[in-house]
Amino acid sequence: RWGRDGGYFASESDSSILEDELTWLLVNQHMAFNSPVWFNVGASGDRKPQCSACFILSVQDDMESILEWFKTEGRIFKGGSGSGINISSIRSSKEHLSGGGLASGPVSFMRGADSVAGSIKSGGTTRRAAKMVVMNADHPDVREFIWCKAKEEKKAWALGEQGYDMGLNGEAWQSIQFQNANNSVRVTDDFMSAALEDREWHLRAVTTGEAFETTKARDLLREIAEAAWQCGDPGMQFDTTINRWHTRPVSGRINGSNPCSEFMSLDDTACNLASLNLTRFVGEDGEFDAERFARAVDVTIAAQEIIVGNSSYPTDKITCNAHANRELGLGYANLGALLMSRGLAYDSEEARAYTAAITALMTGEAYAESARIAAVIGPYDNYPLNKDPHDSVMRMHRDAAYRIAAELVPASLLRAARTAWDEVVELGQLHGYRNAQASVCAPTGTISFMMDCDTTGVEPDIALVKYKKLVGGGMLKLVNQTVPAALSRLGYTESEAGAIASHIERTDTIEGAPGLRDEHLPVFDCAFKPAKGTRSISHMGHIKMMGAVQPFISGAISKTVNLPETATVDDVMDAYVQAWKHGVKAVATYRDGSKKVQPLSTSTDSSNSKKDAASVR
């Protein structure tokens, strides 16, 4: 109905086709919209529903703006969505107020925002609020920001030692601050080069821009790594890379992101997401059906575009920007399961090329459909002002598609991806694009369960057998369902596969399974080593996959670079450097065992032990 009212269809038959195909995709678990669509569409009465999962806010260096930030975040969380904000515009605690005295500093105001988030259950359920806080690496308070979460978590560990409940909703965590946000430090190429070359780095006053303090960039990077080694925060966002791929630089630069770092856009913007279940597009012949996948992309992009103008937004400024930019975030889930079912090790050149081709096809077809819609309805309002940079970014994506190693990818899949990008450039020159952004790699944490996925987003599996602690209490045992298909692809008989599966059920690991050939073990490697095993994917395996995917994503990639408990601070530091070198826009690390409690683990242990904790970022 929204589409018919908006003039999206040439005939009633066209609208019926979209309705039927969209319904089929949803019912058969080929696709799911982001959670706020399920929470709010049809439940808002006469009001427009909040449909976007991701928001980026802005804040100015005055009290009224800071309090508006708190209020706007609260409204976003209530609707089941998440928000991010760069707080570098707030003067540091080392700078004076106009009326005399020193300012409180942005970290002080983070405490208030964290308390607001902690008191609002997202979507009116037990789903927790999600937020991102970003600070630039040249802010005078950056060290306080880097360590704020690690210092608070030391208190949680101490309370646990005293017997306080350390569960997700336990009383210990209720008294600990900064637990509702992911924190990220935003750095430029200049900072990273200075760190590698051990050069000096200036922290600059917010009010004047003058050099306030001089330090060593490498020392600052090491502090980021030390804090992340302790508690998983902060992550890093690579500002120069982000803005190099920005389609609307004339309208403003990109300063922040959503909670999981996949939506990166102008301040005061919104993005609605949807994700495709990759394993549902594997045909009976075991091959990925590129044609059917492309059609699913078309249907989903059309539906997401229709949603934009029929959604509510928390502020007038976000409403205006949402309508002027019409940003979409199409992504996928179950990549790890798809690769495993194909008999490909996640950490392999073949897997990276195959994933790159699928991602290129997804985003290429998404922008091609966006251009087709623009031919009928017109491009997004900010496109004429940003035509040259937007078109240039499209050519950058297309050129990357032609750099995928052809010998590692099925010819039909790679041909479809490259053809899509050729069409994007051709159609865009004629009509422009309806959407400033088309794709992201979201974490898909909730909707992956709706689609019965074994793996989320672009991640490999955490473990073949894992245990999920629920916010409302209880635990789920999740057993990977892809192993039998992978064993069949690798040539094992049904009885051999059954014996291996029984071993996994019994021991929670595939290592030592009867009849499993050693050369096939890498296919079943996961993010964390099992409780009774030794194997896992190295941090470079995660980073190389992100580097392969990033050139084909409008936004960024929500993904954790997992490290073993034995990893050092130098290993974390190297992960951040390698992510930057591989062209990744943002990265988060998690060292196994560095959190006191985690929703996902590789054992049923519910005590306060830090062992066998899995990633949540």
Give strand ranges (E) for 540-585: 560-563
**Comparing C-alpha atoms, which of 530, 544, 549 is closest to residue 400?**
549
Q: Please report, in angstroms and rounded to a whole number, the separation of the first and last CA atoms in the chain.
A: 37
Structure tokens at 181: 């946000």
| Catalytic residue (choose from 54, 260, 271, 526) | 260
Structure tokens at 531: 């409780």
Question: Per the omega criterion (within 30 degrees of 0), is the bond before 234 cis?
Answer: yes
Structure tokens at 178: 């900064």
| Catalytic residue (choose from 258, 277, 325, 480) | 258
What is the residue-wise DSSP string for 40-95? HTTSSTTSPP---SEEEE---SSHHHHHHHHHHHHHHHHTT-EEEEE-TTSPPTTS
* Beta bridge partners of residue 275, listed in sequence order: 32, 331
Q: Answer yes or no: 262 catalytic.
A: yes
- How far is C-alpha 172 from the chain's CA centre? 28
| Catalytic residue (choose from 262, 305, 369, 459) | 262
* Beta bridge partners of residue 237, listed in sequence order: 186, 586
Q: Answer yes or no: 320 catalytic.
A: no
Question: Per the omega criterion (within 30 degrees of 0), is the bond before 599 cis?
Answer: no
The two counts, helices (H) then strands (E), for the chain are: 21, 17
249: left (phi over 0), alpha (psi -120 to 50) or beta: alpha
* Beta bridge partners of residue 57, listed in sequence order: 85
Q: Answer yes or no: 258 catalytic.
A: yes
Distance between CA atoms of residues 250 and 490, nearest Å: 51
Structure tokens at 420: 């899509």
Specify the length of the chain in residues: 617
Distance between CA atoms of residues 420 and 371, nearest Å: 12
Place of tokens 């009010």: 207
- How far is C-alpha 211 from the chain's CA centre? 34
Active-site positions read 258, 260, 262
